[in-house]
Amino acid sequence: MKLILASTSVYRQTILQKLLIPFVLASPEVDETPLAAESPHDLVARLALAKAKNVATTHNGLIIGSDQVACFNGTILGKPGNFDNAVQQLTFLAGKTVTFYTGLCVYESASKKYENIVELFNVTFKPLNHAQIVTYVNAEQPYDCAGSFKCEGLGICLFTKLDGRDPNTLIGLPLIGLIELLEKFEVDVFDHIDSELAY
């Protein structure tokens, strides 16, 4: 089995390393612009598949595609990109619940067969004050993260509740779901663990 992660995200790479399975990285070239009237669920499902298919044009094996958006009341929240936008986004989200939609696809290049799912994860923010938000943004600089936080780090201080079946989903790669999808291709993760990758 050759496993390919169709992503250059360091966050997804770190998550996949938890399974101790050898894999390679490939950068998908996909236009991530939402289609007219496309729901967050349909958007991430489409993009996860598109990323895997794109990488399949240059790589052979089982390809993992994933895409994620954060939403509040059906509106997609973008990555802040800079300090001011991050402070503004967290100020808006304080005291509110945000839903993360993560699309996950496993695509077999040889047969062109694929399996996909969309995982939801809800995050409820504390009623944060301005000083707390500024301190957090200065400390962690979450400018490349939808929602303006890194839950695997100091971002955990921003929440009152996390609701979902797999905390990895929030970071961008649902491992429980991935293992289930791999099993549909008759891949047992335990058969491919490389103990030399343990750290």
Distance CA(99)–CA(129), nearest Å, equals 22
The first and second tokens of residue 113, run together, are: 């067969």
The first and second tokens of residue 72, run together, are: 């509040």
188 assigned to active site:
no
For residue 119, the cross-strand partners are 102
Angle between helices 83-93 and 130-140 (to 10 degrees): 140
Distance CA(67)–CA(41), nearest Å, equals 10
Instruction: Tell how strand 114-125 and strand 97-108 pair up.
Output: antiparallel
* Contact status, residue 41 vs residue 118, Cβ threshold 8 Å: yes
Residue from 31, 67, 163, 194 carrying the catalytic annotation = 67
What positions carry a catalytic annotation?
67
